[in-house]
Amino acid sequence: MLFNSFTFLVFLPIVFVLYWGLQKKSFQLQNIVLLIASYIFYGWWDYRFLALIFASTLVDYLVGLNLAKQDNIMQRKILLSISLLFNLGLLCYFKYTNFFIDSWIEAWDTVGIHFNISSLSIILPVGISFYTFQTLSYTIDIYRKQLKPTTSFLRFATYVAFFPQLVAGPIERAAHLLPQFDEKRIFDFEYAKSGVSLILWGMFKKVVIADNCAFFVNQIYDNVEAYSSVELSIGAILFGLQIYGDFSGYSDIAIGVARLFGFDLMTNFRFPYFSKSIPEFWRRWHISLSTWFRDYLYIPLGGNRGTTLFKARNIFIIFLVSGLWHGANWTFVIWGGIHACLSLPMLITKKPKVKPNNNSLTLRQIPALLYTFIMVMLAWVFFRADSWSQAYRYIERIISLDSLNVNLFIGSSKMILFSLVVFFSSLVLFVMEYKAFKKVEKEVKLSALSSIAIFLMILFLGVFKNPNDFIYFQF
């Protein structure tokens, strides 16, 4: 079920009424409503894959319980390995099998040895990268004795399948979300209101910003050679806006919907395009994934301790793995590699780390902001391209500065209107976000009046006829 679908528009109020109708009875009943709703939400896409979520839930629930009972280090390691093997095994099979087969064939092809193996027909279950990471964090935290396991299977199953964030995050930690299923939820007007405001803002980012940008971006990436350097440059920026609108929009809607049910989900984006360096960008972009990799990969590898070479190795590992997490394609690995390279100067020069809530933006910082923005936009080219050669050609064409033609954006009245919509809505996005950024808010807050204005913009400027799936569903 898509957040931007009519089905969800009907589904949400029904679940809301059922859920709060049980407020005075028991929060366990509320959890049952949420669990059933979450399974319906996911099953709407493909009910067969509900078995995977259930299996993942059951394995990690049992591993968690047994880990708590077990003091023997060897036994604990075996239990953790079961969880790791099961979850990462699922992820590898569904997401990376064909990638490894194709890469294997291509590698041998280059030395003249040909294998007659064809790719397997595997459907990637939506959200598998998200919920496997979420359940993994649960068992790892118990293994590290940072978390006590829940004894209630219902609570754990609801935590894993919680529909607002099931298919595209934020990737929640058990320590933060799980206890919320153990408490009585009391309806809070201000909290629910802020949820509605976030849902509207997220919807604006998705259907107005991302889907209108997609109109140009898809055309450009379908035929890179047909467009001028200026058009390709604008296209690169538009994809940056598209993916931001798409993914952060989804996160906003997820957080907003969770608030309607009295739950607090972690902030996933904190105005990343106002970053003044690449490391800062990663403290503001997809925070739930960045912190996951920090806690479960970067720090166990040694983090920022040791020699510069050692630190650089760790940075490369974390970014390359992060790239591969995004998709089974070398373009994502290269994208991760670019970010690793861009992060190195900061590491070598040992500049002091900017605090995440440091939202200063002075004139002297503008060049750093622009540099970061441009680098991030160029790196996105590898993220969006079908192959590394297409991305390379794209960048090469931009640098060649062969033509200043902008016909794609002004060639007909329809294109001019689309361009105006994209420009105007992006302006609204940046102005609203800048205001929130300066106030050191963690999100854009809409008043009743601005909510109405955003609602009207969604209605008249949004894309509803041919809606695009959320990009991160494929991860």
Partner 1 sequence: MKKFLYYILKVFLVGLILAYFISELSFWALRRGNFYKPTFVENTIKEKEVDYIILGASTALTGIDTELLDTLTGLKGYNLAIDDTGLPNSYLMLQHFLATGHTTQKVILVPTESSLTQPSSLSDNDYRFLMYNKKRYVQNYYQELEASTENIPVLSQTTYFPFLGLSYFNVELFFPSLVSLFQPNKHNRFNNKGDYSYPKNNFKGEGEKSKKVVIDFDNEYLKKIENLCDRMGVELIVYFPPIYNTEFLISENQLNIVNLTASFSSSKFFYDKIHINTEGKRKATLLLSEYFKIKY
Residues of the shown chain interacting with partner 1 in the complex, contacts defined by CB under 8 A: 6, 20, 187, 189, 192-193, 196, 413-414, 417-418, 421, 448, 451-452, 455-456, 459-462, 464-465
Query: What span, in angstroms and rounded, lies between the C-alpha atoms of 220 and 206?
Result: 20
Query: Closest approach of Cβ 163 to partner 1, in Å?
Result: 20
Residue ranges of E strands in 370-472: none
Q: Judge whether 457 and 208 are in contact, CB under 8 Å.
A: yes
Measured from the Cβ of residue 162, the count of other Cβ atoms closer than 10 Å reads: 28
State which residue, 225 or 460, has the beta carbon closest to partner 1. Answer: 460
Locus of tokens 């800048």: 434
Q: Judge whether 287 and 380 are in contact, CB under 8 Å.
A: no
Q: Which of 114, 286, 326, 339 is catalytic?
A: 326
State which residue, 91 or 458, has the beta carbon closest to partner 1. Answer: 458
Query: Closest approach of Cβ 466 to partner 1, in Å?
Result: 10
Q: How many residues does the chain have?
A: 475
- HEC sequence for 139-190: HHHHHCCCCCCCCCHHHHHHHHHCHHHCCCCCCCCHHHHHHHHHCCCCCCHH
Q: Which of 439, 442, 399, 385 is nearest to 259 (CA)?
A: 442
State which residue, 429 or 461, has the beta carbon closest to partner 1. Answer: 461
State which residue, 200 or 289, has the beta carbon closest to partner 1. Answer: 200
Query: Closest approach of Cβ 25 to partner 1, in Å?
Result: 15
Query: Closest approach of Cβ 50 to partner 1, in Å?
Result: 24
Residue type, 108: W
Query: Closest approach of Cβ 256 to partner 1, in Å?
Result: 13
Q: Which of 269, 263, 257 is nearest to 1 (CA)?
A: 257
Active site residue 326: yes
CB contact burial 360-397 (16+ within 10 A = b; e otherwise): eeeeeeeeebeebbebbbbbbbbbbbeeeebbebbbeb
Distance of CA 186 to the CA centre of its chain: 29
Query: Closest approach of Cβ 233 to partner 1, in Å?
Result: 25
Query: Closest approach of Cβ 29 to partner 1, in Å?
Result: 17
Q: Judge whether 336 and 320 are in contact, CB under 8 Å.
A: yes
State which residue, 200 or 224, has the beta carbon closest to partner 1. Answer: 200
Query: What span, in angstroms and rounded, lies between the C-alpha atoms of 343 and 358?
Result: 19
Query: What span, in angstroms and rounded, lies between the C-alpha atoms of 83 and 144?
Result: 14
State which residue, 55 or 417, has the beta carbon closest to partner 1. Answer: 417
State which residue, 20 or 44, has the beta carbon closest to partner 1. Answer: 20
CB contact burial 106-115 (16+ within 10 A = b; e otherwise): eeeeeeeeee
State which residue, 357 or 466, has the beta carbon closest to partner 1. Answer: 466
CB burial of residue 176 (10 Å; 0-12, 13-18, 19+):
middle
C-alpha to C-alpha distances, 230 to 1, 394, 443, nearest whole angstrom: 38, 11, 33
Query: Closest approach of Cβ 436 to partner 1, in Å?
Result: 20
Residues labelled catalytic: 326
